[in-house]
Amino acid sequence: MCKYFMFDALRQAINEEMDSDQSVFILGEDVGHYGGSYKVTKDLHAKYGDLRVLDTPIAENSFTGMAIGAAMTGLRPIVEGMNMSFLLLAFNQIANNAGMLRYTSGGNFKIPLVIRGPGGVGRQLGAEHSQRLEAYFQAIPGLKIVACSTPYNAKGLLKSAIRDNNPVIFFEHVLLYNLQQDLPKDSYFLPLDKAEIVRSGSQVTIVTYSRMRYHVMQAVDTLIEEGYDPEIIDLISLKPLDLPTIIESIKKTHRVIIVEECMKTGGIAAELIAQINDSCFDLLDSPVIRLSSQDIPTPYNGNLEKATVIHPHQIVEAIKINCPVKV
């Protein structure tokens, strides 16, 4: 086992898949000579050359459309968004082409495409660079959506995404690239549709994903000291949602709190609450609680930016209010 940063883990995944399959290639702004805006593609151009590590113009709709066309021919493109917010410029290509073509062609075309890159609320990156786009894409039929949260799952999930025959939107949080973790030396793959039980517990189910996993873990450290026994679930798969894992947890705890960085209106938590209520309403002892970001563009001002997202003390407070009985 060796310790790696998350950006190293992602690069390993891409390198291993490019090395084993000549149809895999990566394209995007500054992915080649510069090595990517967060160095995920560093040194890959020197190894694979211009035809497999393509520096593109600043034209997201064009190179995303090109990648979809390449996927239709049997190649396996990886699109890097320098910032995932920029891929709103390719929303038409992602929704009307990537998401639909396998269906509208009657299965004649597969779209083995990965669209990946940094997103989420950073540190004073401004509104246009701090968008939470997971809910934008969740409504599009035909897509799979993954949010990695550790170097270990980042590598295993990205390798699986590259080998999948469907388009995968792969979210990497901009503030998690410098996380370090031991990784196995051997190649490994993780399922794209499974949540992770980060901590088993009996009192309340806390569902989260991406960067908020760490805010939840900080809150849980405090809660455990005060006698609480929460279960933590990292969604990982945002589409499809791993409802069976969540339901099994609710059977034990009968209470749910969802912590997300997404906006409250129309966010991932909103969809998850609807599915929980549809599937296991009678198992709940109280309404599902959601802790979400403010419904505003992310401010540039550091203090205001901090106020838009959920922090550990708010999670602790919510648990104490909604789960008054200690174990």
Residues 159 and 207 in one domain: no
- The tokens for 70 are 């390449």
Inside any domain, residue 127? yes
Residues 7 and 149 in one domain: yes
What's the rounded mean pLDDT across residues 235-264? Answer: 96
Which CATH number belongs to the domain containing residue 300 in this structure? Answer: 3.40.50.920
pLDDT, tens digit (0-9, with 9 covering 90-100), for 68-116:
999 999 999 999 998 888 999 999 999 999 999 999 999 999 999 999 9
| d(C-alpha 209, C-alpha 231), whole Å | 14
pLDDT-derived band at 123 (thresholds 50, 70, 90) equals confident
Containing 233, the helix (H) or strand (E) segment is: strand 230-234
Residues 171 and 259 in one domain: no
pLDDT, tens digit (0-9, with 9 covering 90-100), for 49-74:
999 999 999 999 999 999 999 999 99
Single-letter code of the amino acid located at 224 = I
Residues 51 and 99 in one domain: yes
Query: Whole domain around residue 214: which residue ranges?
Result: 196-322
pLDDT, tens digit (0-9, with 9 covering 90-100), for 130-152:
888 999 999 999 999 999 999 99
pLDDT at residue 131, as a whole number: 86
Containing 214, the helix (H) or strand (E) segment is: helix 212-225
Q: Which of 154, 183, 212 finishes a domain? A: 183
Residues 113 and 48 in one domain: yes
Which active-site residues does the annotation give? 60, 129
Q: Which of 183, 210, 229 finishes a domain? A: 183
Residues 59 and 153 in one domain: yes
pLDDT at 297 over 50: yes
Residues 83 and 232 in one domain: no
Inside any domain, residue 190? no
Inside any domain, residue 26? yes
Residues 317 and 231 in one domain: yes
Please provide the DSSP assignment of 100-122 as one string.
THHHHTTTS-----EEEEEES--
Inside any domain, residue 191? no
pLDDT, tens digit (0-9, with 9 covering 90-100), for 3-42:
899 999 999 999 999 999 999 999 999 999 999 999 999 9
